[in-house]
Structure 1
Amino acid sequence: MTLIGRLLHNRRAGDTHTAWNLPNLHGPELLTLTSEHFAHGAAIPLQQCAKAIGGDDLSPHLAWTPPPPGTAQLLLVVEDIDVPIAKPAVHCAALIDPSLAHLDPGALSAKRPAAGVQLLRSTIGRGYHGPAPLKGHGPHHYIFQLFALSDPVGSATDAPHRARPRVLLPRITAPVLDRARLTGIVER
């Protein structure tokens, strides 16, 4: 796998097609998103990585400043912008009740999501899928993006829980009242 990673070293999705850069998800950047497990731009601990590379696939603790008044729903999207494909891989997508101020470790589990968390489809499946970059491919940046929406996502499509992220995300029409992001890095 190291050879494949080195051969694909210069092939990366980039951040052009992330949820953050979708025109319909633009908005002020006044929220702050943090984690007890890693700082912005720092390494994501092995515990939060995929089981395939020795991790526990445990979603990290996440906390944010209060969303603005009028927030109907929070949208969390976690993307790997360094995958060697055309667009970033969505590792997790979830709708969060705006009354929540944080998510405990494991709150994005596909089997037992926390109260107030509705899991959406991701590129990989439902729930949190920890980082597992190709060995030798170099650092992978995992962007945790949080959007405060003025209307529930259910109004964007008839079946938001069944839609693939690349279909659902561009269809969200609710104005973004605020947003924040946190980037963690994994390299093998």
Structure 2
Amino acid sequence: MRRFVGTLLRGVRAGEKHLAYNDPAAAQAPLSLVVSSTSFEFGKSIPRKHAGPGEGENISPELSWLGVPPETAELVLIVEDPDAPLPRPFVHAIATGIQPTATTIAEGRLSDTATPTDGLAMGKNTFGKTTYGGPRPVPGHGPHTYVFQLFAIDKRLTFEGVPSRAEVLRQMEGAVIARGRIEGTYER
């Protein structure tokens, strides 16, 4: 039945234009961050161990980057699926407070719910959780793209509670000084 629903909704997708990367809060920032991963190659399939519960082990992939401007106060990561059959991309993870001197996020770090010692704080994903939620697209819907978007911010973001995507983007407005991304695909 789920495969039938996926096939039926195959043409329905949120779209690239709705990614945080293209939001007015970030769209004007230079594309100067170079994001890579030892877990998957740009545009290639994301290994099953990084897929969501019931499909894989839900272990967040390793990410690394270059090109952080010296005036960066913090980095923000937003992981989204623009191919979800929804009006907006499905948010798989939000991480704020990443130190400007950091050059990597270790494999599994976004899946770790332990109290952070590195300043990194998780925001609320579409599942309503404060952790990484790996790829698990609707069966039969076709390949989905998972976009790991990194933003350099020239101020520290502060939140009273666990922030949503909308709250993070609102605070990023006018403060994004660089951006970059890596994307991988997954299909069921």
TM-score norm. by structure 2 comes to 0.92
Given candidates 109, 113, 121, the residue that maps to 1:118 is 121
Q: CA deviation at 1:173?
A: 2.7
Deviations 1:51-91 (A, max 9, x none): 221x1100000000041111000000000111111000110
For residue 155 of structure 2, what is the aligned residue in structure 1?
151
For residue 44 of structure 2, what is the aligned residue in structure 1?
42
Q: Distance in 1 between the 2:166 and 2:177 partners?
A: 21
For residue 30 of structure 1, what is the aligned residue in structure 2?
32
Deviations 1:65-123 (A, max 9, x none): 04111100000000011111100011000011112110111111241357232111121
For residue 66 of structure 2, what is the aligned residue in structure 1?
65
For residue 128 of structure 1, what is the aligned residue in structure 2?
132
Q: Which runs of 5+ in 2 are unaligned?
A: none
Q: Distance in 2 between the 1:180 and 1:44 partners?
A: 18
Q: Which moved more, 1:118-127 or 1:41-50?
A: 118-127
Asked whether the equivalents of residues 122 and 162 of structure 2 are also in contact (C-alpha less than 8 Å), the reply is no
Q: Which runs of 5+ in 1 are unaligned?
A: none
For residue 139 of structure 1, what is the aligned residue in structure 2?
143
Q: CA deviation at 1:142?
A: 0.5
SS in 2 for 1:2: helix
Asked whether the equivalents of residues 152 and 174 of structure 1 are also in contact (C-alpha less than 8 Å), the reply is no
Q: Distance in 2 between the 1:180 and 1:24 partners?
A: 14
Q: Distance in 2 between the 1:64 and 1:41 partners?
A: 16
Query: What is the count of residue pairs matched by the alignment?
Result: 183
Match of 2:99, as an amino acid?
A: D
SS in 2 for 1:6: helix
Which structure 1 residue ranges, 4+ long, deviate > 6 Å from structure 2? none
For residue 11 of structure 1, what is the aligned residue in structure 2?
12
Match of 1:42, as an amino acid?
A: K
Q: Distance in 2 between the 1:79 and 1:38 partners?
A: 16
SS in 2 for 1:23: coil
Instruction: Name the CA shift for 1:135/1:119 in 2 (closer, same or farther; >3 Å).
Output: same
Q: CA deviation at 1:24?
A: 1.5
